Structure 1
Amino acid sequence: MDHKTLVSTIQTEDLARLNARSDAPGLRHLAGHSALIVGFAIWIAMGWPLWQLALLGQGVAICFLFTLEHEATHKTPFATAWLNEWVGRITGFLILNPFEWFRYFHLAHHRHTNIPDKDPELLSGAKPETWPAYLTHISGLPYWWGMARQTLGNVLGHDPGDYTPKRAHARIRFEACVMLAGYALCVLTLLVTPLLFWVWILPCLLGQPFLRLYLLAEHGRCAFVANMLENTRTTFTNRVVRFLAWNMPYHVEHHSLPQVPFHQLPALHEHMKGHHRVTADGYARFTADYLRGL
């Protein structure tokens, strides 16, 4: 059975319930995630005990906004369209991932999930298979360099990728120009106070490796086939990780029905139980297994 056949077995009324979008769950989750970031920022700024440890927590909290930006490309975190758009743009700014461009990059990933020479994630080298490549990848440095280069290229009007339609090029370029202007203002702020460095820039550098490790579990070592039950992994983990990742550890579920909002993925998981081909019992177990195969 492939994912399409499995999805076809879900009753119409259940599918309608799963696909229903709502602002309330997304706003509650966003409030909690934002409060975590603000809390860590205050802890760091005030220099309270163990503030150095808060740097790491802040970095993880900010970098995992990627999962919210990712959801916003599907227009599913909120029922209100403009909320999805602006949350996507703001989170993209915070993690140097241009939202307009990433929307098309990610949709191409969904169309060609884990298909060599077609999936842009594979083309970008996101699945390292040697120790040097692995250590370089999880450092997060290739991500920052790649996103800086992509953003600057978008500003200069370079081709943003074969997966982007011509009609979107002007929007992609405009967004990149706005982002560049925003980063320039942040640099000017740093000349006055180093606060942004301590509550945003340094934490992001420290937190990015944790996001890289998390993302590697989504499709790493999965089959190069079109069946989402085989090319994607659901990872069983704790509530903290599911909260930070906006329920994206239910990744087979997300790829099988990407229009299902994040807050409905646990319910979708119940419908798909017993049909998963690729799972992991936690990220530590996945990482250990991955390392053994390098």
Structure 2
Amino acid sequence: MLRGEKVVIMDAELNKKALGIARNYIGSVAWPTVVLTLLVCSLFIICLVLFATGYLSVWLATPLISVLTYMSYTTLHEAVHGNIHGSNPNLRWVNDLCGYLVGPIISVPYNSHKHEHFAHHRYTNIAGKDPDFIISGMRTGLFAALLTTLKFFYVQNTFFYKQHWRSAKLKERFTYCLEIQVSIGWRVLTIALVEQPGIAVVVLLGYFTGGFFTAYWFAYRPHFPYDNSERYQNTSSLIMPMWMKPIEWLWLGQNIHSIHHLFPRVPFYHYRALHRDIEPVLRAQGTPIIGIWSRKPITVQE
């Protein structure tokens, strides 16, 4: 047997081992994600109401809206992969409802994101095929990062129209258009009807800040430097130091993005545990396990 053949067989065995472990985290109804969805949606509305009635300042309401905007994407992301209803098809409506509820917050249509995000998984880091590759433009500076964020969300909102409109059923087209209208409409109405000074800052800057954080930390940093499309090497595990653990909880564990790309049916709240369970496989397969700030390899997790 040739050396190359031995390597392929070993890699296949390692992947089979990791898959066997990952199956322990797949299939259950993701009630924690349902709770997250209800909390994010409720707190988002409460925050806007408290600002509109003068109980929250613009300086407090804006960052709160930003954080909730970022957190809303985790629900959308989980719903796209069908992770909320798990292996229970009778609860698919719960999965879809969660996706539709948070779509207007992060301003990404759930019906469209299914197509865009699966294309991203299929062609991760391949220029011209991966629709998220546009986010690699963040590397050239702050202004480019801000502009790229706008382009990124433009892609998220237009991918369905450009790639699937002709082949889509009438119901899909109607749902897509309705989602776009709701996403834009609630913002326009809120800014127009709320008389509290600074409402546009809260609604627009709060959204953009949360969207920028999502684009940078959820999409850009885990895939940087965008030069590898191999299954175990196209996404990083960004390890936080111990003092950042409370922030990692708020981050919803999305810094361990390698686990998601390897096993997308695993709910986000299991990323850390599965990463710990299959870490020897990840290291053997060359998965980047690096410091979140230094980007240097972490030999022993902090």
What TM bracket, shorter-length normalisation? 0.7 to 0.9
Secondary structure of the residue that 1:126 maps to in structure 2?
helix
Deviation at 1:278, TM superposition (A): 1.0
Q: Gapped runs of 5+ residues in structure 1?
A: 289-294
Find the counterpart in structure 2 of residue 131 from structure 1: 140
Q: For the Cα contact (< 8 Å) 1:6–1:272, is it kept in 2?
A: no
Counterpart of 1:118 (choices 117, 125, 129) is: 129
Larger relative CO (CA 8 A, sep 6+): 1 or 2?
A: 1
CA distance in 2, matches of 1:285, 1:11: 30
Q: Would the alpha carbon gap of residues 201 and 48 (structure 1) be closer, same or farther in structure 2, given more than 3 Å must change?
A: same
Instruction: Count residues in correspondence.
Output: 272
1:183-228 Cα offsets, whole Å, 9 max, x none, are 346534543325664553331023222222212112011432322x
CA distance in 2, matches of 1:57, 1:285: 28
CA distance in 2, matches of 1:185, 1:29: 22
Deviation at 1:19, TM superposition (A): 0.9
In our comparison, the structure showing a higher alpha carbon Rg is 2
Find the counterpart in structure 1 of residue 260 from structure 2: 254
CA distance in 2, matches of 1:145, 1:230: 28
Q: Would the alpha carbon gap of residues 200 and 190 (structure 1) be closer, same or farther in structure 2, given more than 3 Å must change?
A: closer
Q: Gapped runs of 5+ residues in structure 2?
A: 1-6, 297-302
Counterpart of 1:210 (choices 210, 213, 221) is: 213
1:219-248 Cα offsets, whole Å, 9 max, x none, are 011432322x21101112344544444432
Secondary structure of the residue that 1:108 maps to in structure 2?
helix
Q: For the Cα contact (< 8 Å) 1:68–1:91, is it kept in 2?
A: yes
Find the counterpart in structure 2 of residue 170 from structure 1: 170
Counterpart of 1:224 (choices 218, 223, 228) is: 228
Q: Would the alpha carbon gap of residues 96 and 6 (structure 1) be closer, same or farther in structure 2, given more than 3 Å must change?
A: same
CA distance in 2, matches of 1:256, 1:65: 22
CA distance in 2, matches of 1:192, 1:41: 12
Find the counterpart in structure 2 of residue 9 from structure 1: 17
**Equivalent residues in 2 for 1:28-39 (5 A)?**
28-34=35-41, 36-38=43-45
Find the counterpart in structure 1 of residue 188 from structure 2: 187
**1:187 partner letter:** V
Deviation at 1:250, TM superposition (A): 1.6
Moved more, 139-148 or 215-224: 139-148
**2:17 partner letter:** T
Secondary structure of the residue that 2:108 maps to in structure 1?
coil
Secondary structure of the residue that 2:128 maps to in structure 1?
coil
CA distance in 1, matches of 2:19, 2:154: 46
Find the counterpart in structure 2 of residue 291 from structure 1: none
CA distance in 1, matches of 2:119, 2:128: 12
CA distance in 2, matches of 1:61, 1:255: 24
CA distance in 2, matches of 1:128, 1:185: 30
**2:92 partner letter:** A
Counterpart of 2:99 (choices 70, 88, 105) is: 88
Task: Name the % identity.
Answer: 21
Counterpart of 1:75 (choices 77, 82, 92) is: 82
Moved more, 214-223 or 175-184: 175-184
CA distance in 1, matches of 2:225, 2:189: 44
Deviation at 1:69, TM superposition (A): 0.8
Q: Would the alpha carbon gap of residues 188 and 118 (structure 1) be closer, same or farther in structure 2, given more than 3 Å must change?
A: closer
Q: For the Cα contact (< 8 Å) 1:69–1:88, is it kept in 2?
A: yes
Q: Would the alpha carbon gap of residues 271 and 218 (structure 1) be closer, same or farther in structure 2, given more than 3 Å must change?
A: same
**Equivalent residues in 2 for 1:132-147 (5 A)?**
132=141, 135-138=143-146, 140-147=149-156
RMSD (CA atoms): 3.2
Q: For the Cα contact (< 8 Å) 1:138–1:213, is it kept in 2?
A: no
**1:217 partner letter:** R
Q: TM-score, normalised by structure 1?
A: 0.77
Find the counterpart in structure 2 of residue 200 from structure 1: 203
Q: For the Cα contact (< 8 Å) 1:18–1:267, is it kept in 2?
A: no
